[in-house]
Amino acid sequence: MRKRIYLCLAHMSEAGLEQKYIQEAFDTNWVVPLGPNVNAFEADLEAFVGEGKDVVALCSGTAAVHLALLACGVGPGDEVVVQSFTFCASSHPVTYLGATPVFVDSEPGSWNMDPALLEEAIRDRIARTGRKPKAIVPVALYGMPYQIDEILQIGVRYDIPVIEDAAEGFGSRFDGRVLGTFGEWGVLSFNGNKMITTSGGGALICPDAESKQRIMWYATQAREAYPYYHHEAVGYNYRLSNICAGIGRGQMTVLDAHIAHHKHMYELYRQLLADVPGIHLHGNPDERCDSNFWLNTITLDPDLRIRGQENAYKTVVTGAVGGAAGVVHAVDNAHTDCEPNDNVEALRVILDQAQVEARPLWKPMHKQPVYKDAPAYVNGISELLFKQGMCLPSGPCVSDEEARYIVDTIKGAIL
């Protein structure tokens, strides 16, 4: 039986440096959320992102978003402008702080936050509430750079800080500069399916050393300098462990190779899908954008006929879709009010049966029931992409032969 091909799983360094650094942590008894590996990993990250930035290693990218919002002064009753076309980790931390996300739809080139709609949202929120949003959170969807120059100009115009959610865009660049270094804060993720992994983990790119120290203070329970535990602020247990940081140190040695592989996969998919009518591969919208192509994504023409399309959504999914999707609630209905169309679902099922993990694009946050009452400024782009789009396996464990098998399976599914 063919082995399963997953969307994106990190690959260990050939030298096995991850095991070396982990063993050193055990040998020196640094099995805690601080230590030599954490310090060295942060130094490696700072060297990579450049621009004189400081970096704090944290337990997740979600924690990084949370602490960046906290640093921007977000609190109960505030509003934060968030890209709607994203994973929930971009918006959930807003609610942790008692604030409200204000969702902004995408522009068609990058699929990321539409700058014109962003400004419209800011003006309208000021008119409606008498207050401007406390932060702007664009997202590098699937690694694709956002129009950060326009977004920053809007942030400056209204004096609103920009938090770059580059969790999926580690190593992506805009005008030659690494994502996460343009805004006041930058978020990275090292989850098991990201460009590099620490198994679970993330980082916050900070504007300076003073900001880094304050973030580290919040990330280690906000303890005051007394010989006992004394707290004048609420802190969090968000620091990265020395064990996980050891994995990250080893992963940094293969980061460039991983980025090169993902870009190679894009070029290979582009060639293999060039003659397939009705299938469109998403690429860099202009020369300023240099995506890491964390996941390669396609859209299917609505009138495309896929084998088994008539059976789409006839079966209720009973567990998590995907190898690392986690724990889910059981459902008794295969449908929601916003879902991929029948040909996308039919192709997903065919690929799944062929041992290929493929998933729909992110469901827009403004269409999530948990955010049904949140303000949203939409143009229909993200909903259309969600209904017509799909992610293809792209990680370092995907070979050229497997990419050809995936495309052959797609071709064989089209009637």
Percent share of the chain, pLDDT over 70: 98
Q: Chain centroid to CA 195: how far?
A: 10
Buried/exposed code over 305-327 (b: 16+ C-beta within 10 A; e: otherwise): ebebbeebbeeeeeeeeeeeeee
pLDDT digits (tens, 9 = 90+) for 378-404: 999 999 999 999 999 999 999 999 999
- How far separated are the first and last CA of the chain, in Å rounded? 26
Three-class HEC string of 201-213: CEEEEECCHHHHH
Q: Dmax over Cα atoms in the chain, in whole Å? A: 72
Residues 372 and 296 in one domain: yes
Higher-confidence residue of 316 and 97: namely 97
Domain end (from 218, 236, 254): 254
CATH label of the domain that carries residue 265: 3.90.1150.10
CA–CA distance, 372 with 385 (Å, rounded to integer): 20
Percent share of the chain, pLDDT over 90: 90
What single DSSP character describes residue 84?
S
Residue 2 domain-assigned (yes or no): no
Is the pLDDT confidence value at 321 over 70? Answer: no
Residues 61 and 87 in one domain: yes
| Average pLDDT of the segment spanning 350-373 | 97
Domain end (from 254, 281, 310): 254
pLDDT digits (tens, 9 = 90+) for 177-199: 999 999 999 999 999 999 999 99
The predicted structure's pLDDT at residue 16: 87
Residues 323 and 381 in one domain: yes
Q: Are 115 and 150 in contact (CB under 8 A)?
A: yes
Residue 6 domain-assigned (yes or no): no
Residue 4 domain-assigned (yes or no): no
Residues 300 and 344 in one domain: yes
Query: What is the β-pairing status of strands 173-174 and 289-290?
Result: antiparallel
Residues 141 and 153 in one domain: yes
Residue 7 domain-assigned (yes or no): no
Q: Are 295 and 265 in contact (CB under 8 A)?
A: no
Residue 183 domain-assigned (yes or no): yes
Residues 223 and 287 in one domain: no
Residue 156 domain-assigned (yes or no): yes
Residue 209 domain-assigned (yes or no): yes
Listed range (3-12, 144-153, 357-366) with the worst mean pLDDT: 3-12
| Average pLDDT of the segment spanning 284-291 | 98
* Number of domains into which the chain is organized: 2
Residues 234 and 283 in one domain: no
Is the pLDDT confidence value at 261 over 90? Answer: yes
Residues 260 and 276 in one domain: yes
Domain end (from 254, 287, 303): 254
**pTM score:** 0.96
Q: Are 232 and 188 in contact (CB under 8 A)?
A: no
pLDDT digits (tens, 9 = 90+) for 212-258: 999 999 999 999 999 999 999 999 999 999 999 999 999 999 999 99
Length of the chain counted residue by residue: 415
Is the pLDDT confidence value at 322 over 60? Answer: no
For the sheet with 136-137, list strands across it.
136-137, 79-83, 100-104, 376-377
Domain around 277:
256-413
CA angle 213, 49, 144 (to 5 degrees): 120
CATH label of the domain that carries residue 119: 3.40.640.10
pLDDT digits (tens, 9 = 90+) for 89-128: 999 999 999 999 999 999 999 999 999 999 999 999 999 9
Residues 289 and 175 in one domain: no
Residues 224 and 280 in one domain: no
Residue 172 domain-assigned (yes or no): yes
Helix (H) or strand (E) holding 342: helix 342-353
pLDDT digits (tens, 9 = 90+) for 63-94: 999 999 999 999 999 999 999 999 999 999 99
CA–CA distance, 98 with 220 (Å, rounded to integer): 21
Residues 371 and 222 in one domain: no
Say whether 242 sits in a helix, a strand or coil.
helix
Name residues whose C-beta falls within 8 Å of residue 286's C-beta, 6 or more positions apart in sequence: 109
Integer CA distances (angstroms), 393 to 6, 76, 269, 411, in order: 6, 40, 10, 16
Residues 239 and 311 in one domain: no
| Average pLDDT of the segment spanning 320-337 | 73
Assign 3-state DSSP to the chain and report helix, strand, coil percentages, each to 5: 40, 15, 45
